[in-house]
A = this chain, B = another copy of it.
């Protein structure tokens, strides 16, 4: 059965944990939780050097129709990230500066959308970060029902309302709400470990040695020769 719902209230992870996951960065979080959670390379930031995390408020839309994004605004709280998914591919500029203004007044951290956005220069100027599949000034209608705060599939991943959405220059990673604290602990452990690795690499040590890859390469049948 396919009901169209707007779900007003969702659970969210601890804001301090969410913020700390944002600072950890997507590559770290993705690795720390077992190399999962990445939504795919088609979602790209419209800005450089911005790193955020927030609680997902999800929107399921008909392509080229942004009525459900309007419906979602009042469901957003401080610290949220709006996640918009379409029922079929869409290149439309479904979101722009006015919707961002509205979300920014509510403390929303940013937007992730599998379609297009517009007013990208203004969005960068106002400091509202966006990860989208397209940039397009093409406008939308407001005609077809969809849902707010239902589970959606974004890229190769299920996003549940309230999941933690991390986004930076490398893309978008989603952490299930229940795993947020564990993910943060894992991420921080990884950051500590990588700092130590960095020191060794800067000192000239080789990863192939201290990761123990020499033996593995030989087991895999790789041969070392001096010249071709």
CB atoms of A2 and B138 under 8 A apart: no
List of B residues within 8 angstroms of A33 by Cβ = 1-2
Interface residues of A in 31-90 (CB under 8 A from B): 31, 33-36, 38, 40-41, 44, 48-49, 51, 62-65, 67-68, 70-71, 73-74, 85, 87-90
Q: Per-position contact with B for A131-175: 1 when CB-CB < 8 Å, else 0?
A: 000111111011111110110010011100100000011110100
Residues of A in contact (CB 8 Å), total 105
- When chains A and B are docked, how far (Å) is the Cα of A120 from the Cα of B47? 12
CB atoms of A98 and B194 under 8 A apart: yes
List of B residues within 8 angstroms of A48 by Cβ = 121, 124
How many identical chains are in the complex?
6
CB atoms of B90 and A63 under 8 A apart: yes
Given contact pairs A5-B228, A67-B213, A93-B27, A139 touches B35 in the complex (Cβ within 8 A): yes
Nearest residue, chain B, Cβ from A158 = B158
- When chains A and B are docked, how far (Å) is the Cα of A181 from the Cα of B164? 36
- When chains A and B are docked, how far (Å) is the Cα of A30 from the Cα of B147? 19
Provide a sorted-by-A list of 24 A–B residue pairs whose CB atoms are within 8 angstroms: A2-B34, A2-B36, A6-B222, A7-B228, A8-B224, A9-B227, A10-B228, A30-B138, A35-B138, A49-B124, A64-B64, A67-B216, A70-B208, A87-B138, A87-B156, A88-B138, A89-B89, A98-B201, A98-B207, A99-B207, A101-B201, A141-B143, A146-B222, A158-B158
- A-B contacts besides A6-B223, A8-B227, A101-B201, 16 pairs, CB < 8 Å: A5-B224, A7-B227, A26-B137, A38-B138, A41-B91, A64-B64, A67-B220, A70-B208, A73-B207, A98-B201, A101-B198, A135-B170, A143-B143, A143-B144, A144-B144, A147-B222
